Amino acid sequence: MNGLIMDYQLNIPLIMKRAETVYADKEIVTRLPDKSIHRYTYADFVKRAKKLTLALQKLGVQPGERIGTFCWNNYHHLEAYFGIPGAGGVLHTLNLRLSPDELTYISNHAEDRVVIVDKVLLPLFEKFKDNIAGLRHVIVAAPEPSEDLAEGYLDYEKLLAEQDEKDFVYADPQENEAVAMCYTSGTTGRPKGVLYSHRAIVLHSLTAASTSVMAMSESDTVVPVVPMFHANAWGIPFTATLVGAKQVFPGQYLDGESLLDLLEKEKVTFTAGVPTIWLGISIALDKQPDRWKLVNGLRMVVGGSAAPEALIRNLDKHNLKVIQAWGMTEMAPLGTMANLPSYLLDSPSDEQYAYRSLQGTPAPLIEIRGRGEEGFIPWDGQALGELEVRGAWVASAYYNSPEGADRFTEDGFFRTGDIVAIDPHGCIRIADRSKDLIKSGGEWISSVDLENALMGHPAVAEAAVIAIAHPKWQERPLALVVLKEGETASVNELMTFLQPRFAKWSLPDNIEFIEAIPRTSTGKFMKAALRTRFKDYTLPNVEF
């Protein structure tokens, strides 16, 4: 027997309709390429998103067709987030940090038919534009209509000016229809596409808004620093629009000082990005602690890779509250969040920091488990296993890619490739990526634990630990360390610093100082490059 409840499809148009009716006078702010500020209201945004829908329909966009975006975080991009779904298209955000070859592969694999490009990004786009086989239209977006576009480009502002938003009719798509697409930046293998449904995005938004997760509400002012081409900026533009938060987009200016100026000026209460960004902010604040007046308790969600405890502590001194999260493109992307649980509210600050440097507990509608070498691991905070997830916005397959099929278990879980311990409250600690784990004589050594410990040393800016082949132990750890400008430290000094924290067999066999750690387009350490560089490295003989 079914319940007698309305058939109410969870889709993107309902978010936009709410923005239009309940939050019409809320503000959306963008830092433009010339650094000036663009402001308009939710009412303006909805009017223009409707016009974009109408323009795409006139260009012949068919339901289900992929429409690419190649944009910074700005109001045009937000309009595309809603205007493309309005026309039944699938929003495909292209990652502008990738190489032209990767972008060629991805855009062809996704079969993008139209791409919306920021005018400032045209030089980059033109490096692969002609390689996109089925591309029909390129729409160029800039704050003002462009009179100087080359043949074959359409002007975003002119297209919109030709539309009358009164012609717009809200579609009511079925919730399982595809609406957005992101490619994983995968450090191994070909990039793979994840195809989000309307339902996944609405449920993700609703959950992110809950007080146990991102706690986003109408009274927040939100800056997604995480790019809108990376897992939908962690869903923040959808969540913020659903709850009617004031939205602030940083455009292309992501350095510490530019961001701090924006956070201060717009009285921002919530922001999100990778640790590198907050490191930049931390350094800028240490240099000039009194320059910026920020909102007290400004929440900074950090994800993409783990935030070192030292960074969390330092930002706390400036009244900025780092909250760690973990997710993946394959999960839209939110998996876990490390809001302080009630049992730690009155604990000593060291215990609180220890918790806040973990990756947190699963969001509602997400289930987790860890698979060890001998079945599922106990939730004891110690045993390590590969994290598997299941939930309302987790991918069930990659788009047209049999290659990734082994990432999905027979009983319906996704293998994340992350090695975790899970504590009795379901709080995860990412010990490593499965491919970065060091397998030494049947024991697992977490490269992440060693890296975090090393980064707690005052002279160390960054550290990466990789596996080096070993005749006896199969693999042994080598630490690669970047020192802070003007600081010095010896191998012995750093080893002495590590010794009290680790079993002898899990210490690195050696430490090498390098000038920088290569990073992926999303700011993650690119250990593959380090492994290549050090593949013939000879470890010293170490007894333990």
Our finding on whether 169 is near a second copy (CB under 8 A) is: no
Among 35, 161, 162, 212, binds a second copy (CB under 8 A): 212
Q: Which stretch binds a second copy (CB under 8 A): 44-52, 75-83, 320-328, 396-404?
A: 396-404
Our finding on whether 164 is near a second copy (CB under 8 A) is: no
Our finding on whether 516 is near a second copy (CB under 8 A) is: no
How many CB atoms sit inside 10 A of residue 379's CB? 18
Among 398, 444, 473, 525, binds a second copy (CB under 8 A): 398
Residues belonging to the chain: 544
User: Which sequence positions are flagged as catalytic?
Assistant: 184, 330, 439, 444
Q: DSSP for 473-541, please give it.
A: TEEEEEEEEEEPTT----HHHHHHHHGGGS-GGGS-SEEEE-S---B-TTS-B-HHHHHHHTTTPPPPP
The DSSP secondary-structure symbol of 104 reads: H
Is residue 333 reached through a cis peptide bond, with omega within 30 degrees of 0 on the bond before it?
yes
514 burial (CB, 10 Å; 0-12 / 13-18 / 19+) is middle
CB of 533 to a second copy, least distance (A): 36
Can you tell me whether residue 94 is helix, strand or coil? coil
Q: Which stretch binds a second copy (CB under 8 A): 189-197, 280-288, 500-508, 536-544?
A: 189-197
The DSSP secondary-structure symbol of 294 reads: P
Our finding on whether 409 is near a second copy (CB under 8 A) is: no
H or E element, residue 275: helix 275-287
Among positions 322-381, residues that touch a second copy (CB under 8 A) are 339, 341-343, 345, 361-362, 364-365, 367, 379
CB of 345 to a second copy, least distance (A): 7
CB of 411 to a second copy, least distance (A): 11
Our finding on whether 206 is near a second copy (CB under 8 A) is: yes
Q: Which stretch binds a second copy (CB under 8 A): 32-40, 120-128, 207-215, 510-518?
A: 207-215
CB of 13 to a second copy, least distance (A): 11
CB of 140 to a second copy, least distance (A): 27
Our finding on whether 25 is near a second copy (CB under 8 A) is: yes
Among positions 237-296, residues that touch a second copy (CB under 8 A) are 242-244, 246
- In this structure, what is the dihedral angle of CA atoms 417, 423, 429, 430, given to the nearest 10 degrees? -10
Among 33, 100, 372, 426, binds a second copy (CB under 8 A): 426
Q: Which residue has the tokens 């590590």?
A: 498
Which residue, 289 or 364, has its beta carbon nearer to a second copy? 364
Which residue, 218 or 512, has its beta carbon nearer to a second copy? 218
Among positions 38-67, residues that touch a second copy (CB under 8 A) are 63-64
Contact 154, 43 (CB under 8 A): no
> Number of C-alpha atoms within 13 angstroms, CB side, residue 209?
19
> Rounded to the nearest 5°, which phi and psi values hold at 386?
-80, 130
CB of 516 to a second copy, least distance (A): 37
